[in-house]
Amino acid sequence: MNNVLRVACSGTGYFSQFHYEAWNRLDKVKLVGLCNRDLEKAKHFAQTYKIEHYYQNLEVMLRELKPDFLDIITPPVTHLEAVTVAAKLGIDVCCQKPFGENFEQAKQMVTIAKDAGIKLVIHENFRFMPWIRKAKEVIDSGVLGQILNVQFNLRPGDGQGKDAYLARQAYFQEMPKFLIHETGIHIVDVFRYFFGEPHSVYAQLRRCNPVIKGEDAGIVIFQFAHNLQAVLDGNRLLDHSSSNTRRTMGECQVEGTQGTLNIDGEGRIWLRKINEKISNELPYMWQDANFGGDCVYQTIKHIVQHYLQDTPLENQGFEYLHNILVEQAIYQSHEQRSCIDLPLQASIEVTP
């Protein structure tokens, strides 16, 4: 690697802008190429982000440029082919979520990566939102006591009307599974990041905007160890109090026997100790830039630090399969109108 991580990217959709911008901001990283089936769009991105080489064909790009790392920033239907090509050439991969189209496909990609001896990382960025990292610090400090109740109200307010999602990610309207598969999976990962593996889930999902195919609202109840219950209450049509409803995507409350923590729509964190009437704001440093408090940059920085400083790597594919198993159980619960137990540790055979 010669102390410089050479990165190629595949995809030029709405969200890719945050990836390209983040890679370009990091020292000891060089964007060597990008790929998109629309060559004119690929050329435009190459010029915008000062990338010398651009291609229509992914395998041709990887064979010619021989990058250290491939960032796949394309929809789930493309992931299996892209991971397969990269694995064949021995190139490590970061894959955008949703990771594949279903659990079986995701597990297949993890197996392909394992057999090829490459690293497969999932670009799960919510856990890198600065307020989530800070909340994790507070939770782990023990100041809240025994945590018993958690609620995340997902309220981006971007899903109303016939033009919902068309300006950014039009394919959202066509996804047969939407709220949980595309967005709720982030909160599944946050809950696992905070509290470990859930023991069971119960879900009721619904569609509020008839122009989309999948569900866009619902409630999911998670049971964790130590009598902890967490609720995801999601509705993409409704908003919350914020100057930018897509910054935090909603509001979160964590309640323990010694105190309550709240994350509001401005990214502020409030702590009220038990029996106190006033919540106090917890100061912390973060940047209100790009998407979600610059969480894409923080995710990519985490990956680069692994390669350059040998730090631990979060959200590798084999670990991320747990999120997809939880997602699968949520849809199963909704369909069966029943609580689904999650013996997760016994359910995944693929290991690093």
Q: Give me the domains of the chain, ranges plus CATH numbers.
A: 5-123+299-317 (3.40.50.720), 127-284 (3.30.360.10)
Report the relative pairing of strands 5-10 and 29-35 from DSSP bridges. Answer: parallel
**Element housing 71 (H / E):** strand 69-72
Exposure string for 13-29, b = 16+ CB within 10 A, e = fewer: bebbbbbbbbbeebeeb
- Integer Cα distance of 135 and 59 in angstroms: 41
Residues 6+ apart with CB under 8 A from 24: 31, 49, 50
DSSP state of 316: B
DSSP state of 39: H
Q: Are 173 and 126 in contact (CB under 8 A)?
A: no
Q: Return the structure tokens found at 28.
A: 């000891």
According to the model, what pLDDT value does residue 346 have?
Answer: 43
- Integer Cα distance of 95 and 4 in angstroms: 21
- Phi then psi for residue 39, to 5 deg, are -65, -35
Helices and strands, counts by H and E, the chain: 9, 15
Residue 148 Cα to chain centre, angstroms: 25
Q: How far is CA 156 from CA 17, 163, 203, 218, in A?
A: 20, 15, 20, 14
In a structure prediction context, what are the per-residue pLDDT tens digits for the chain, which is 352 residues long? Answer: 668 999 999 999 999 999 999 999 999 999 999 999 999 999 999 999 999 999 999 999 999 999 999 999 999 999 999 999 999 999 999 999 999 999 999 999 999 999 999 999 999 999 999 999 999 999 999 999 999 999 999 999 999 999 999 998 999 999 999 999 999 999 999 999 999 999 999 999 999 999 999 999 999 999 999 999 999 999 999 999 999 999 999 999 999 999 999 999 999 999 999 999 999 999 999 999 999 999 999 999 999 999 999 999 999 999 999 999 999 999 999 999 999 999 855 455 555 5
According to the model, what pLDDT value does residue 344 have?
Answer: 54
Exposure string for 290-300, b = 16+ CB within 10 A, e = fewer: ebbbbbbbbbb
According to the model, what pLDDT value does residue 350 have?
Answer: 52
- Integer Cα distance of 321 and 318 in angstroms: 6
Strand, helix or coil for residue 245: coil
